[in-house]
Amino acid sequence: MNVADFDYDLPPRFIAQTPLERRDASRLMRLDRETGAVSHHTFADIETMLEPNDVLVLNDSRVIPARLKARKAETGGAAEILLLKRIDDRRWQALVGGRNIRRGTRLELTGGDISCLIVEDLARAQRLVEFDRALDGKTLTALGEMPLPPYISAALADDERYQTVYSKVEGSAAAPTAGLHFTPELLTKLRQKGIKLATCTLHIGLDTFQPVRAELVLEHKIHSEYARLDENNARVINEAKGAGGRIIAVGTTSARTLETAGSLSDGGSQQTVAAFEANTDLFITPGHKWRAVDAMISNFHLPRSTLLMMLSAFAGREKLLRAYEAAKETGYRFYSFGDAMFVC
């Protein structure tokens, strides 16, 4: 497969710069993956599309304020650190911006008495950095800024709007954006209808949103992300599947976690997914054999991205791209703060 097969044109005017005042007021396109038929709704209508015993699987990862202003200790030159993945208490994989910053450079964080050393140069401006002490949540909240994607230029009035209402486990460098549409009231309505909620955790790195630069899909080296599905949530999913319910991934991150859990299942009739905790490098492209996911809620994704490839694997590339064209024709908002799609 050529990466160019997953390209499409998106003028900047379609990219949502700010979230809507009410989360569940965003638009929702329903895409029938068998026929390719689309219909148009608001996100609150998702309640009418789900049935008792269906399970919504939510990624409860929480975005950390991972953007840190810094200066070079020797010269005072400006620098910026974007934390991507915690390696241990003091070491992080990070994107580091600034002139002539390489292994051996020491940086001092602005607004605090913490410094770090660049200990290894990694690919594409990424660095392994080691801080002189651990960065806890309180420190990051005091010194860091929310790492909005580069295609969003507007300032965010409330950082919580880049968090899902059910976020809990800190560790992501970007939000699981399909979940941004849910409100506490909508989740309550779904529970009252008999729809089950399960959670998983996948900490998102910014590589998720980067265009694939290789010419062939299989030449792309997929990133690895920490993921977890515990025993209790695996049991909820397996019992619902056994009772004829659908497993609905809220976002590509939940889908990636579920399909990883499906690949670890023993294949027994009562086990669709297996509990696990590990880094996953599962790369889902057309031809993937889906083991766990029956339907998916997703935002509209970047051209040439691994997320678009995953949705193409689920819905079919031609059907998905036709739906994207229909979304443009009818004024949908794209990307992180944009509208949603229910693929079923």
Final residue of a domain: which of 82, 117, 145?
Answer: 145
E strands within 32-149?
38-42, 55-59, 61-63, 67-72, 78-86, 91-97, 106-109, 115-121, 126-131, 144-145
Residue 83 sits in the same domain as residue 59: no
Residues 116 and 170 in one domain: no
Residues 166 and 225 in one domain: yes
CATH number for position 298? 3.40.1780.10
Q: Do 245 and 322 have their domain in common?
A: yes
- Measured at the CA of 104, the angle between CA 98 and CA 105, to 5 degrees, comes to 30
H runs (alpha helix) in 35-123: 46-49
Contact at 8 Å (CB) between 294 and 33? no
Burial class (CB in 10 A: 0-12, 13-18, 19+), 49: middle
Do 204 and 330 reside in the same domain of the chain?
A: yes
Q: How far is CA 247 from CA 51, 57, 68, 332, in A?
A: 11, 7, 38, 26
* Domain end marker among 124, 145, 166: 145
Residue 279 sits in the same domain as residue 178: yes
Backbone angles phi, psi at 57, to 5 degrees: -105, 115
Residue 204 sits in the same domain as residue 306: yes
Whether 325 and 276 share a structural domain: yes
Is the separation of the CB atoms in 53 and 129 below 8 Å?
A: no
3-state secondary structure of 63: strand
121 in a structural domain: yes
Query: How many structural domains are present in the chain?
Result: 2
Q: Is 150 part of a structural domain of the chain?
A: no
Residue 306 shares a structural domain with residue 163 = yes
Q: Is residue 8 part of a domain?
A: yes
Angle between helices 306-315 and 252-263 (to 10 degrees): 70
Q: Are residues 219 and 165 in the same domain?
A: yes
> Does residue 86 sit within a domain?
yes
- CA dist., res. 192 & res. 188, Å (int): 6
Please list the pLDDT of the chain residue by residue as tens digits (344 residues): 999 999 999 999 999 999 999 999 999 999 999 999 999 999 999 999 999 999 999 999 999 999 999 999 999 999 999 998 889 989 999 999 999 898 999 999 998 889 999 999 987 778 999 999 998 888 898 999 998 988 999 889 899 999 999 999 999 999 999 999 999 999 999 999 999 999 999 999 866 666 788 899 888 888 889 999 999 999 999 999 999 999 999 999 999 999 999 999 876 657 899 999 999 999 999 999 999 999 999 999 999 999 999 999 999 999 999 999 999 999 999 999 999 999 99
Q: Is residue 107 part of a domain?
A: yes
pTM for the whole structure: 0.93
Structural domain including 83 reads 67-145
Instruction: List phi, psi (to 5°) of 99.
Output: -90, 135
DSSP type of residue 251 = S
Would you say residue 269 lies in a domain? yes
Does some domain include residue 152? no
Find the CATH number of the domain harbouring 115. Answer: 2.40.10.240
Please indicate, yes or no, whether residues 180 and 138 belong to a single structural domain of this protein. no
The phi and psi torsions of 102 (rounded to 5 degrees) equal: -145, -175
Q: Is residue 265 located within the same domain as residue 313?
A: yes
Of 91, 117, 145, the one marking the end of a domain is 145
What kind and span of H or E run contains 256?
helix 252-263
Determine the distance from the C-alpha atom of residue 36 to the mean position of all C-alpha atoms in its chain, rounded to a whole number: 25
